[in-house]
Amino acid sequence: MSAHLARTNRHEALDGLSDRRLLRALAYVDSHWTASEAAESFAVTDPATGSAIAFVAALDAGQTTKAIDAASRAFPAWRALLPQERSKILRKWFELIIAAKDDLALLMTLEQGKPLKESLGEIDYAASFVEWYAEEAKRLKAESVSSHLPNAEMTVRREPLGVVGVVTPWNFPSAMLTRKAAAALAAGCTIVAHPSSETPLSALALAELGERAGLPTGVFNVVTGEARKIVGAMCADARVRAMSFTGSTEVGRLIAA
């Protein structure tokens, strides 16, 4: 762990972070900050200067399976939690995102390259999804449907699927994660997320805040590394019941196959 973290302190702009714990260089699996078993890492660079911001752990298919194991174990308890309790945790996550807005925006600008004003706007946008689904979590009610049979009543009841794989792109690294994950978490699903290798720091910072908000062990996992290995492992595992994807044509083809 120390080898990865020691290599994250070189970019001068990181001195602007008020909360240094939001800069994470390890993946987040089963509520543990996790390095590659082979000590492999990849550089996250500032597109404005080409200089390294951090060297992030590159996990493999085996470690992706461990993340799926964790999410699968966590699913029954998260599903059984009262919707109001899931709502409270999501609401706390939203509040922490807003409180850390300046730091999250700085990290995004450094790794993604958009102007700081645009990054601040995206953090608001990202937080709004968490706020929205924190409220929707309390409204997962059954609906009546007109029956096609006489003297019969029909209802539709929503049930969480299970483990959801979430694959997010480089251009909206925070908003696309919360847009997908907050909806699934509100419904009672658990998450294995894979952020773009160009912009993993935003996702890892959100994982840190999710932990502080009280997301239980294994409910929210972030697996960093090569997309082909990680997404391939997600698609091959029958316990991943849904995939939510925004990203490259290459990864889209991999999922479709």
pLDDT tens digits along 82-116:
999 999 999 999 999 999 999 999 999 999 999 99
3-state class percentages of the chain: helix first, strand second, coil last, to nearest 5: 50, 15, 30
What CA–CA distance (Å, rounded) separates 253 from 247?
10
Q: pLDDT higher for 200 or 158? A: 200
Quote the pLDDT of residue 10. 59
The pTM of this model reads 0.91
The token duo for 201 is: 């720091």
Q: Which domains can be identified in the chain, with CATH numbers?
A: 2-256 (3.40.605.10)
| pLDDT surpasses 80 at 68 | yes
